[in-house]
């Protein structure tokens, strides 16, 4: 018997599924959007994931279809399910991750802790929300945002006029999401994995640091997290995975408020940047875990291998030369650093790789990880 996973999308998340697939002896095929993408070394097909014909032909001989991103349209997902293809996460769960308004509404039904929010379809509704929330709020486009694109802190409703205008042009119409501006002390993320047959594995809760809306670094586990905080975060992850029927990896982005409450920011139903530390810092990394989960195999141990792990993103990369040209220096100075590169062209602000360091002294781990990552940036 051989097992074959098909991944829709050729980005770095698909790329990082390749190594554990090879280790386990699982076949992995990627449907890439273009030639020479991050996961091109496993790309068996290049094509448009919006096209049901393309995705169906890609899925013909795999055991399960999974994803590098959440953007595959619902009609394509249903076509796969109708054709008898196993799809994990499934269309219903993915539909919730695809639209932040749908997500807020479903999390409310599940009784999950969230910031105050509303769906607003024009500037007067938005202004009402602002007036009720101290004059500042966060507006978000419900679909297609990433790395802080589609997120704006505003203090006047007119600051979202361009987004309302774009909505008016959009055939699907709809509304914008507005949320209270959460006074958080820090951001956390909770990873869990869930198999179709129900088993769930919960990772240690981690701290994430965002700069200009982009994840910059992750500390695992979250420093000075009380047992109560860790168990509440784990329970939130478990309840969402079960309540929404998520299969594969789920990341729950959380705000920890100054009065020690946890509020849900957003969900990702796939391996996520906040879980990259687990590749080197946990017994079972999130990419291996995702493969196990979508194939409905028993889940691996999620414990940390060391007291601390720190993951630092390489943002932008070197301007004049390549990441590889920095290898010798980084490897000489930081032999404990685990270096991951995504095969992407350096460009300002772009995530082109990350570095993880694990150990028992957090100060040293943080110093090594940051210094190693900064060697790759100009
Ligand atoms: N309601 C809020 N209150 C305060 N800060 C917020 C709020 N919503 C978002 N932010 C800040 O903006 C960042 C990006 O928001 P969000 O995660 O919704 O956007 P995204 O572009 O979908 O992110 P990602 O890069 O995770 O895909 C958050 O990590 C947080 O720092
Ligand atoms: Mg986010």
pLDDT digits (tens, 9 = 90+) for 262-284: 999 999 999 999 999 999 999 99
Q: For residue 322, which of 348, 339, 338, 343 has the smallest C-alpha distance?
A: 343
Residues 238 and 325 in one domain: yes
Please work out whether the CB of residue 231 comes within 6 Å of at least one atom of ligand 1.
no
Please work out whether the CB of residue 179 comes within 6 Å of at least one atom of ligand 1.
yes
Q: How far is the CA of 267 from the centre of ligand 2 (A)?
A: 8
pLDDT for 1 equals 66
**Whole-angstrom distance, CA of residue 272 vs CA of residue 127:** 34
Residue nearest to atom 15 of ligand 1 (CA): 148
Q: How far is the CA of 219 from the centre of ligand 1 (A)?
A: 18
Please work out whether the CB of residue 145 comes within 6 Å of at least one atom of ligand 1.
yes
pTM: 0.97
Residues 354 and 226 in one domain: yes
Residues 67 and 133 in one domain: no
Please work out whether the CB of residue 181 comes within 6 Å of at least one atom of ligand 1.
yes
Q: Are 66 and 290 in contact (CB under 8 A)?
A: yes
Q: How far is the CA of 153 from the centre of ligand 2 (A)?
A: 14
Number of domains in the chain: 3
Angstrom distances, CA of residue 118 to CA of 137, 174, 176, 301, 350 = 11, 13, 8, 39, 31
Between β-strands 43-46 and 64-67, what pairing exists: parallel, antiparallel or unpaired?
unpaired
Q: How far is the CA of 73 from the centre of ligand 2 (A)?
A: 20
Residues 214 and 352 in one domain: yes
CATH number of the domain bearing residue 287? 3.30.470.20
pLDDT for 168 equals 84
Please work out whether the CB of residue 146 comes within 6 Å of at least one atom of ligand 1.
yes
CATH number of the domain bearing residue 127? 3.30.1490.20
Please work out whether the CB of residue 123 comes within 6 Å of at least one atom of ligand 1.
no
Q: Which of residues 43, 70, 87 is at a domain's end?
A: 87
Using DSSP's 3-state secondary structure scheme, residue 280 falls into helix
Between β-strands 206-211 and 184-194, what pairing exists: parallel, antiparallel or unpaired?
antiparallel
Residues 147 and 189 in one domain: no
**Annotated binding-site residue? 273:** no
Ligand 1 atom with the smallest distance to the CA of 150 is 21
pLDDT tens-place string over residues 100-156: 999 999 999 999 999 999 999 999 999 999 999 999 999 999 997 777 789 999 999
**Annotated binding-site residue? 338:** no
DSSP 160: G
Residues 169 and 189 in one domain: no
Q: How far is the CA of 265 from the centre of ligand 1 (A)?
A: 7
Please work out whether the CB of residue 148 comes within 6 Å of at least one atom of ligand 1.
yes
Residues near 170 by beta carbon (within 8 Å), at least 6 away in sequence: none
For residue 97, being part of any structural domain is answered with: no
- Ligand whose nearest atom lies closest to the CA of 153: 1
Ligand 1 atom with the smallest distance to the CA of 215 is 25
pLDDT for 151 equals 95
pLDDT < 70: residue spans in the chain: 1
Q: Which of residues 72, 87, 102 is at a domain's end?
A: 87
Residues 161 and 192 in one domain: no
Segments forming the whole domain that contains residue 164: 116-180
pLDDT for 174 equals 86
Q: Which of residues 144, 165, 180 is at a domain's end?
A: 180
**Annotated binding-site residue? 351:** no
pLDDT for 236 equals 98
For residue 355, being part of any structural domain is answered with: yes
Residues 324 and 283 in one domain: yes
**Annotated binding-site residue? 217:** no
Q: How far is the CA of 265 from the centre of ligand 2 (A)?
A: 7
Per-residue tokens: 119 = 């769906």
Residues 234 and 172 in one domain: no
């Amino acid at each position: 018997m051989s097992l074959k996973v098909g991944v829709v999308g050729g980005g770095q998340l698909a790329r990082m599924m390749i190594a554990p697939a090879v280790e386990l002896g699982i076949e992995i095929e990627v449907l890439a959007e273009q030639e020479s993408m991050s996961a091109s070394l496993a790309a068996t097909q290049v094509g448009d994931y919006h096209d049901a014909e393309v995705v169906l032909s890609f899925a013909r001989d795999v055991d399960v279809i999974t994803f590098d991103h959440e953007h595959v349209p619902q009609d394509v997902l249903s076509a796969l399910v109708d054709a008898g293809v196993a799809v994990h996460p499934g269309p219903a769960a993915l539909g919730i991750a695809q639209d932040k308004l749908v997500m807020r509404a479903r999390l409310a039904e599940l009784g999950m802790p969230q910031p105050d929010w509303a769906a607003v379809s024009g500037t007067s509704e938005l202004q009402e929300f602002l007036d009720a929330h101290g004059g500042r709020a966060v507006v978000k486009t419900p679909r297609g945002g990433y790395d802080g694109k589609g997120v704006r802190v505003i203090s006047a409703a007119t600051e979202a006029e361009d987004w309302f205008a774009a909505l008016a042009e959009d055939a699907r119409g709809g509304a914008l999401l507005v949320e209270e501006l959460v006074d958080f002390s820090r951001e956390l993320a909770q990873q869990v994995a869930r198999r179709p047959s129900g088993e769930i594995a919960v990772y240690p809760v981690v701290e994430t640091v965002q700069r200009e809306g982009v994840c910059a670094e992750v500390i695992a586990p979250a420093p000075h997290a009380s047992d109560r905080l860790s168990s509440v975060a784990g329970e939130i992850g478990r309840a969402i995975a079960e309540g929404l029927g998520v299969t594969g990896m789920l990341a729950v982005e959380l705000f920890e408020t100054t009065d020690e409450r946890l509020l849900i920011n957003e969900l990702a139903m796939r391996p996520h940047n906040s879980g990259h530390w687990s590749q080197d810092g946990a017994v079972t990394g999130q990419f291996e875990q995702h493969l196990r989960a979508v194939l409905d195999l028993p889940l691996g141990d999620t414990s940390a291998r060391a007291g601390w792990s720190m993951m630092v993103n390489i943002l932008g990369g070197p301007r004049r030369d390549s990441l590889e040209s920095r290898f010798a220096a980084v490897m000489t100075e930081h032999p404990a650093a685990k270096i991951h590169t995504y095969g992407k062209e350096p460009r300002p602000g772009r995530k082109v790789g990350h570095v993880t360091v694990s150990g028992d002294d957090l100060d040293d781990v943080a110093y090594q990880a940051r210094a190693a990552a900064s060697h790759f940036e100009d």
